[in-house]
Chain A
Amino acid sequence: MNKLEVIFNNTSKDLIIPLESSWDFYGQQQGVEEYETSVIEQILNKDQDFEVSRFEHNSYYTNTKEETSLNYEFWLYNPNLINPNTTIPSLSGTWENSYTSKFSNNEIYYQQETFKKSFWKLDLYDSPSTLNQKNYITIVLPTHQGLLQQIQVGFFQNVLIKKPKYVLDYLGDKEGFFIYWLKKRNYLDLSTFYMSAKFFNGVTGQFIRMMNKPQYQLTNTSNPFTFNQEEYFYYRVNLDYSTQKYEVFRYPDIIRVGSVLEPIKWYEYVNP
């Protein structure tokens, strides 16, 4: 600050205040182009990487043998087969690892349309809460996959038909073994999914909801139709992006399932 002395002589006075101003035009054009690029990206949306990777079921050991198979068991409710273990009158039937409670033996053996077009639908959500969950992945297990069981068809004894027990692996039954999901995490950063299961019944044209425990084993035996949905409708699936592998766990437990000795078990939910 300069000291200014103003001498009064009844005339108008001007003060000249120097303000230094320097202009630098260098880089202006590049700046405009950069800004332009930025605006264009905002308008057009920047290119995103939507490439999917194949996530494989992580290996585990069964009696020191390394295995990779993913094992599912689906148990359908047969109200006509009395379960001696249940004390719940409204759930007196039995859950069977068989299609025979929903289809006739002929339908299964001859692969009729009603059976052939039925399938298991596994949905992977980002949350177990139905209030805010989003379904990101759906895996379909067709009925023509799976292991076999013996039945009688007409006069034919010991006929082999499909049953809802799946051993999925790199070889043999492969459909549903791999999870195809985004390769990179910059668009959606999800590594934990919650898997629910439904069965599309080609006879009725309706979906059957599946639970991770049979209803007669629920703690509230007096009313096995009222329970915490988050707890009984899901398994947890964890993706490991670094190894491109996934593992399945009981939910809310942390016990790994899907192995030969500990398959992923689904039980039909029976409406009251």
Chain B
Amino acid sequence: MMDVQNYLVVKPDLLNAEAPQTDISINTQLNETQSEIVEYDQTSNISLITVFDNERQQSNIFRPTVKISYIYENNIEGYCPNPSWSNYLNKLYYTKPTQSLISQQWSGVPSYEEFEFIRTDINNPQLNKTSFKGFITKSSSTYNWAVRLSYPFENLTGVTMSHNFQSNPPFNWVVSDGIPFIISVGIDNGLQILQFNCPVKHGLSIGEYVNLSSGFTYNNINTYQVYSLGNNTYGSDEYIFNLYNVGYTGNTFFSGKIGTFKRVIDIYNTGETTSRYYIRNHKIITNAEDTIITRSGFEENSYSNKAAYQLSALTPNKIANISRYQSSYTYNATFERDFDLSNMLDNNGKPVTELFATFQWCGYFGWHNRLQRGWQLNLTSGTTNNWFDFTNTDSYETNLQTVYTQVERTLSNVNPNTFFFNINLPKKSGDTVYGDFCEYNDSEQLERVVSSYMNKFTYNQTLFTTDVTANLTNPNGYYYQVHFPITLKIFSEYIETAAPNSVVGVPSYAFFSQNQNLWLWRDIYEYGFIDSQGRGVDYPFLNEAHYPFKNVVFKLYSDESSFNVTDFYKITIIPLTDPCE
């Protein structure tokens, strides 16, 4: 601002007669006035909780830890057929030593080292210097298992699935067709019903609808309302749904007929409320050198270690030893890299809210065949499912394999024998692997796992024959769940809506419902927020990073397990009994 003053301007020649005519300049002063911001604006209350929470919500860096509580039962017995590879034969735990001594066919099970996440048998000569440069200690945690991180990045809808309904031949369908069922006919509370038995949880509620596959169209209708659930046995309501039999005639519905269904929430809006079914496809994001596997202190699971002293007279090489064939160790897996998940989208185009601990059997010590894949619905309690027959190429896992050889001369053989050992090479960063069989409904904005993805490994029967009557193309083996979710964020329990012209607050992954003329989405809860249902994540945040933790109970399910495998598989088809009866 200019300071207004009075100026007296005198021409030079009037001031002094001799003065020359010159320009006159006036120095003006510009005074700048500053006013301090008011007291309220000057003061800012610092809340450490708020500062911490702001930093926590802004961070997208994750450092996950996975604890692996490993449970298995080393119970698939076998023997080394002649000619025997001595390194296998001499390391067995002999289950029938006296009989074996007579028959000279030594039955047993392999050492616990063949199952562990960290092998400690550094003197094992299996990995010879020609192929492997011997046992490398830093690789001790990679010889048997590979633990990776992955996330689902796309949905596969054209995958062929198969299931054996009791004595029926395998039923094949494409995953996008939905969930399979087999019909039985019965009575519920005096009413005639059609009972649909599913090998997996159907996910239906009473009053919802099912869109049945071709072959179930009656009077040009193939969408029916669910009348009731279950067959009055415990837990059956999750696997069985019933339609009211209004007196259907002909062959549309008959007991034993097999098909698939899709869930429909609103029959007047089938386009948006019909569930989609697919296989999640995962992308691996870590490599072997990223994973650090260590023993979890001295922790062991509740199943005991098993070992036995074997007399020299009762071993094939006449050397006494203490044979340990089962352990109960617990392991930790951490990752050297930090994971920045900003801008990463999952298989449904939403921000990634889950990483997956992905397990793969490698078996560098050569005991096993190629890895196979399937889903829980392909497991049959007490018997080996046809899906895993080697003639079914759909059951082959997509990892690469390699073979190495060992040559050994035995006393009885003049010419040396050559043995071939198979390795399932581990997947690496950028590779893809199948995931769980899932259902997604746009109107609910919710994904549900229908059936978990499983792998199976079996013994190479030419090296270790597991049963005298074994089916060589479908031997018994071990199954394990491949993917275990590590929850990073949680979608809200409620569905948020917004008008079609709304922009602010509508996330990029929102679904626009033509029928409701609304944007639909589920919010992502903030870190540390737990809703009334107990949903939310609240793991440590420090060092500018989140530290999610996952306790994985990693089970090997054996075809010959003595424990019940029905905790993940259940189908009960029994004749319906009317409660009135």
Where the two chains meet, the residues of A that have a C-beta atom closer than 8 Å to any C-beta of B are 6, 8, 12-15, 17, 19, 32, 36, 39-40, 43-44, 47-51, 53-54, 56, 59, 64-69, 169-172, 244
Contact = CB atoms under 8 A, between A and B. Distances in A.
B55 A47 contact: yes
A8 B138 contact: no
Nearest to B44: A36
Contacts of A244: 336
B504 interface: no
A12 B30 CA distance: 21
B529 to A, nearest CB: 20
Given A19-B2, A65-B133, A170-B140, A48 B543 contact: yes
Contact of B63 (A14, A39, A48, A51): A51
Contact of A44 (B24, B48, B138, B336): B48
B49 interface: no
Contacts of B28: 15, 17
Contacts of A19: 2, 30
Contacts of A15: 7, 26, 28
A47 B544 contact: yes
A66 B7 contact: no
Nearest to B292: A54
Contacts of A53: 336
Contact of B14 (A8, A13, A17, A54): A8
Interface centre among A8, A47, A50 (most CB of B within 10 A): A47
Interface string B28-64: 1010000001000100101010010001000000010
16 contacts: A8-B9, A8-B10, A8-B14, A13-B9, A14-B4, A15-B26, A15-B28, A36-B44, A40-B44, A40-B46, A49-B545, A64-B133, A65-B129, A66-B136, A169-B137, A170-B141
A207 B30 CA distance: 75
Nearest to A57: B138
B406 to A, nearest CB: 18
B26 A68 contact: no
Nearest to B55: A47
Nearest to B9: A6
B138 A56 contact: yes
Given A19-B30, A47-B544, 15 more contacts: A6-B9, A6-B11, A14-B4, A15-B26, A17-B2, A19-B2, A40-B46, A48-B544, A49-B543, A49-B545, A50-B543, A59-B136, A66-B133, A68-B137, A172-B122
Contacts of A51: 63, 543, 545
B104 interface: no
Interface string B9-23: 111001000000000
The secondary structure that dominates the A interface is: loop
A49 B37 CA distance: 36
B271 interface: no
A12 B7 contact: yes
B134 interface: yes
A255 B502 CA distance: 68
A169 B544 CA distance: 32
Contacts of B129: 64-65
A171 B120 contact: yes
A224 to B, nearest CB: 39
A32 to B, nearest CB: 7
Contacts of B141: 170
B8 interface: yes
B562 interface: no
Given A68-B137, A171-B120, A8 B11 contact: yes
Contacts of B2: 17, 19
A192 B496 CA distance: 55
A69 B134 CA distance: 14
Nearest to A6: B9
B25 to A, nearest CB: 10
- The 7 A-B residue pairs whose C-beta atoms are closest, nearest first, are A170-B137, A49-B543, A51-B543, A68-B138, A169-B137, A6-B9, A171-B137
B14 A44 contact: no
Interface centre among B4, B41, B118, B137 (most CB of A within 10 A): B137
A53 B8 CA distance: 79
Contacts of A170: 137-138, 140-141
Contacts of B44: 36, 39-40
Contact of B51 (A12, A44, A49, A54): A44
Nearest to B137: A170
Given A44-B51, A51-B543, A171-B120, A69 B137 contact: yes
Contacts of B292: 54
B66 to A, nearest CB: 16
Nearest to A244: B336
B219 interface: no
Contacts of A54: 292, 336
B6 interface: yes
B476 to A, nearest CB: 32
Given A51-B543, A56-B138, A65-B133, A12 B8 contact: yes
A47 B543 contact: yes
Contacts of B133: 64-66
Contacts of A169: 137
